[in-house]
Amino acid sequence: MAKRVCIIGGGVIGLASAYALVRAGHEVTLIEARDSVGSETSFANGGQLSYRYVAPLADAGVPLQAIGWLLRGDSPLRLRPRLDLQQWRWMAAFLGACRGSVNKSNAAHLLRLASLSQDTLQRWREDDHLDGFDWRRNGKLVTFRHSATFEQARSKVTDILQQQVLSAVDCARLEPALADGGFVGGIYTPNEEVADCHAFCRRLAERLEASGRCRFLLGRRVTAIRHANGVVRAVELGDEVLPVEQLVLAAGHRSAELGLPGLALPLYPLKGYSLSVPIGPQHRAPSVSITDYDRKIVYARIGEQLRVAAMVDIVGFDARLEPKRLALMKRQALETFPLAGDYAHAVEWAGMRPATPTGVPLIGASVYSNLWLNLGHGALGFTLASGSGQLLAELIGQQVPSIDMQGLAPRAA
């Protein structure tokens, strides 16, 4: 039976949820605080649809490695301790998740969801002719600067993920732009994809508008959620009260601000940065997506621009551009791909990954009978959006979900 669903948040997760719901015959109202969709963390992210590289950040050995990073001037990680209970709680839970066994089971949950996401996006592209967001299946090459990290990574390569171990020469043969990169080797995964997340959001919104079954309330911030007896009744938009039947919370890293009694949302923003470097005919930009493993920096060609993304800053809700961090990224990008684009005209951006301590998002029913969650996708929101939207639509439509929900359902978080 068709449901009336209200979604808070017009990022890639809220929009993919709306798209899957409308596709399944439901009616949607999508509320977005900004004047346009996809304008917060979904705006200029790395663009990688990284379906096979989903292992969470929290892993055995990471706390020790993090201490080493924090002592370095060119660290990919920055921590500004604050008098903020939310920050300390999140970090304590993160440390608790830094165990090999926990990482392995969470990686398995994410891999299931990522695989569903790849299939779902393929269906939307093929069945609905959804295009116009610079999608390509370009493959991903993870490159290593040190023999030790390369050897460690190659020992984990699996046939299941169709990965290939490449020497430095093979890397340069596959991706000529890498010729002077300073790498000892790499691991190539051919089925990975790339696209423009912001353009994807806009295309979803256009299709939703055209469907006649989705109403957008843009430039409207939900200020509170009204509830009684375990049921959500309405959302407040300042002075206006909008009654709701089913409500989806997909407000990214701000979701916890709308917290309700009994609803634990272990979210914290992990800030990162990107550069969008224009590519002209004279430039030599990589076509394959590159992850520079030892520097924790990623490169993806999206249309006529090179998207460079990096850094994890644990600094609270502070979305300002940090000139020092961006200068470091630009320097490293120039060292690796000096001829890839017009760095002088690179557009700088900062965004906040909506991160759970375990790296696994919360998707599905909450303790409120008609409140659904689709949030906490951290560093993988674009990758996981289509599958997460599909799962949510199935759950709201009371269908059997396409994949086992173990580890993904909020109550189990």
CB 322, min distance to ligand FAD, A: 12
**Among 72-80, 248-256, 327-335, 338-346, the segment contacting ligand FAD (CB under 6 A):** 248-256
**Residue of 5, 6, 7, 11 interacting with ligand FAD (CB under 6 A):** 11
134 binds ligand FAD (CB under 6 A): no
CB 312, min distance to ligand FAD, A: 9
Dist. CA 411–CA 413, nearest whole Å: 5
Q: What is the DSSP letter of 380?
A: G
273 binds ligand FAD (CB under 6 A): yes
Q: How many CA atoms are closer than 13 Å to the CA of 293, on its beta-carbon side? A: 22
Neighbours of 107 (CB within 10 A): 18
8 Å CB contact between 378 and 323? no
Dist. CA 44–CA 348, nearest whole Å: 9
360 binds ligand FAD (CB under 6 A): no
Helix, strand, or coil (residue 413): coil
381 binds ligand FAD (CB under 6 A): yes
Confirm whether residue 18 is marked as ligand binding: yes
275 binds ligand FAD (CB under 6 A): no
Neighbours of 207 (CB within 10 A): 19
Confirm whether residue 130 is marked as ligand binding: no
CA dist 53 to 193, 377, 379, Å? 12, 14, 11
CB 218, min distance to ligand FAD, A: 9
12 binds ligand FAD (CB under 6 A): yes
Give me the count of residues in the chain: 413
**Among 9-17, 114-122, 143-151, 335-343, the segment contacting ligand FAD (CB under 6 A):** 9-17
Q: What is the DSSP letter of 399?
A: P
**Sequence-distant (≥ 6) Cβ neighbours of residue 45 within 8 angstroms:** 197, 272, 274, 307, 309, 351, 381, 382
Question: Which of 404, 409, 407, 402 lies closest to 386 in space, CA to CA?
Answer: 402
**Residue of 5, 6, 7, 13 interacting with ligand FAD (CB under 6 A):** 13
34 binds ligand FAD (CB under 6 A): yes
CB 128, min distance to ligand FAD, A: 20
**Among 5-13, 96-104, 141-149, 204-212, the segment contacting ligand FAD (CB under 6 A):** 5-13
| Mask for 278-307, x = binds ligand FAD (CB under 6 A) | ------------------------------
CB 235, min distance to ligand FAD, A: 8
For residues 77 and 258, which CB has a smaller minimum distance to ligand FAD in the complex?
A: 258
341 binds ligand FAD (CB under 6 A): no
Q: Give the number of residues in contact with ligand FAD, rule: CB under 6 A.
A: 42
Q: Which two tokens stand for residue 70?
A: 């924090």
**Residue of 48, 163, 276, 370 interacting with ligand FAD (CB under 6 A):** 48
Site for ligand FAD in 204-233 (CB under 6 A): 221-222
Q: Which two tokens stand for residue 362?
A: 């919360």
Helix, strand, or coil (residue 53): coil
For residues 216 and 273, which CB has a smaller minimum distance to ligand FAD in the complex?
A: 273
358 binds ligand FAD (CB under 6 A): no
| Buried-state track 142-175, b at ≥16 Cβ within 10 A, e below 16 | bbbbeeeebeebeeeeeeeeebeebebeebbebb
For residues 238 and 280, which CB has a smaller minimum distance to ligand FAD in the complex?
A: 238
Contacts 24+ apart (CB under 8 A), 163-171: 163/52, 163/187, 163/188, 163/189, 164/188, 164/189, 164/190, 166/141, 171/141, 171/143
For residues 187 and 298, which CB has a smaller minimum distance to ligand FAD in the complex?
A: 298
| Interacting residue ranges for ligand FAD, rule: CB under 6 A | 8-14, 31-34, 39-42, 45-48, 50, 221-222, 250-252, 254, 258, 272-274, 309, 351, 353-354, 375, 377-383
Mark the binding-site residues, compressed into ranges: 5-19
Mark the binding-site residues for FAD, compressed into ranges: 5-19
